């Protein structure tokens, strides 16, 4: 009888436990992360205007100081990096020359100025789908938290859609295998969002952390950036993805 009682207890403990990841790097104020498919590396942005290029195992390969920028998210492309600036918009950096270009963004949408950038709850995440950039507006209140879809060209860049997802404190964003993924700092959640159906299709409870960035590689791993100073690596299947 002791064996029969023990088995369900073990199963319950496993089912109730949050998925655990492996800390692969210690990076101060890691506020965004993106996978670079061509170089098979990761770019990690931090709040003090610095970005790091690291290996998938967490080795720091390069550290670059861009200046006095509050970097809150990053998209890595073959030739350029696209950064979300919390209160100022978008910054594009050439990966080879490190030349910087500020993107001018018209924040008017449907005839009204969209409260996308402010000191209390600005932009915290960025993703790119085709030639559209998705910017997540962070707010502790669900009704004030949304995603602005921006068309980068022609000048000036304009907001063409607003996604009201009703999730508070969305601080990290990425696009992977046809879905938009968000992490909520306040709620310790990983959210899978269907852009066609315009709704969340899966929510996964994460271990406690100041989650502000998410990235997927091509080997079946997920990376989360923690603003408390670490990069955590998970297997997709461990997260149920």
Which of these ranges, 23-27, 84-88, 144-148, 189-193, has the smallest mean pLDDT?
84-88
Read off the DSSP letter of residue 143. G
Look up residue 147 and give its two tokens.
């995603």
Mean pLDDT on 178-204? 94
Is 10's pLDDT higher than 50? Answer: no
Relative to beta strand 132-137, strand 146-151 is antiparallel
pLDDT digits (tens, 9 = 90+) for 28-56: 999 999 999 999 999 999 989 999 999 99
- pLDDT winner (highest mean) among 123-127, 183-187, 211-215: 211-215
Is 190's pLDDT higher than 60? Answer: yes
Task: Compute the CA torsion angle 112, 47, 27, 130 (nearest 10 deg).
Answer: 30
CA distances from 67 to 50, 64, 141, 188, 209 (A): 7, 9, 31, 30, 27
Q: Which of 127, 169, 142, 103 is nearest to 34 (CA)?
A: 127
Mean pLDDT on 95-99? 94
Tell me how far the alpha carbon of residue 61 is from its chain's centroid. 21
Mean pLDDT on 125-130? 94
Q: Which of 44, 156, 53 is nearest to 107 (CA)?
A: 156
Return the pLDDT at 17: 58
pLDDT digits (tens, 9 = 90+) for 132-177: 999 998 777 787 789 999 998 777 889 999 998 888 888 899 999 9
> φ and ψ at 8, to 5 degrees?
-65, -30
Distance CA 233, CA 159 (A): 33
Distance CA 32, CA 50 (A): 11
Q: Are 70 and 30 in contact (CB under 8 A)?
A: no
Return the pLDDT at 147: 93
Return the pLDDT at 119: 63
Return the pLDDT at 5: 39
Domain boundaries, the chain: 2-239
Return the pLDDT at 9: 31
The pLDDT-based confidence of 1 (bands split at 50, 70, 90) is: very low
Residue labelled with tokens 């669900």: 142
Mean pLDDT on 91-101? 95
Task: Tell whether the torsion through CA atoms of 198, 82, 32 and 122 is positive or negative.
Answer: negative
Q: 2-239: what fold?
A: Neuraminidase (2.120.10)
Instruction: Look at 196 and 138; give whichever has higher pLDDT.
Output: 196
Return the pLDDT at 13: 29
Indicate yes or no: pTM above 0.85: yes
- 3-state secondary structure at position 193: strand
Q: Which of 82, 44, 35 is nearest to 62 (CA)?
A: 44
């Amino acid at each position: 009888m002791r064996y029969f009682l023990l088995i369900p207890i073990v199963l319950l403990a496993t089912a109730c436990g949050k998925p655990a990841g492996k800390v692969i790097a210690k990076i101060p104020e890691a506020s965004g992360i993106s996978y670079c498919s061509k170089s098979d590396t990761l770019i990690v942005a931090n709040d003090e205007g610095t970005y790091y290029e690291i290996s998938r195992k967490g080795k720091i390969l390069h550290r670059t100081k861009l200046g006095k920028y509050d970097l809150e998210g990053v998209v890595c492309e073959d030739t350029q990096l696209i950064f979300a600036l919390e209160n100022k918009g978008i910054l594009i950096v050439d990966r080879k020359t490190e030349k910087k270009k500020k993107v001018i963004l018209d924040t008017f949408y449907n005839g009204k100025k969209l409260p996308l950038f402010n000191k209390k709850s600005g932009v915290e995440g960025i993703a790119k789908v085709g030639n559209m950039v998705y910017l997540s507006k962070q707010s502790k209140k669900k009704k004030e938290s949304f995603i602005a879809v921006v068309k980068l060209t022609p000048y000036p860049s304009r907001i063409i859609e607003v996604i009201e997802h009703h999730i508070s404190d969305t601080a990290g964003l990425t696009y992977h295998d046809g879905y938009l993924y968000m992490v909520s700092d306040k709620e310790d959640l990983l959210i899978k969002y269907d852009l066609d159906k315009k709704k969340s299709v899966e929510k996964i409870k994460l271990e406690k952390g100041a989650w502000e960035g998410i990235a997927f590689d091509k080997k079946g791993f997920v990376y989360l950036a923690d603003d408390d100073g670490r990069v955590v690596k998970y297997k997709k299947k461990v997260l149920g993805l």
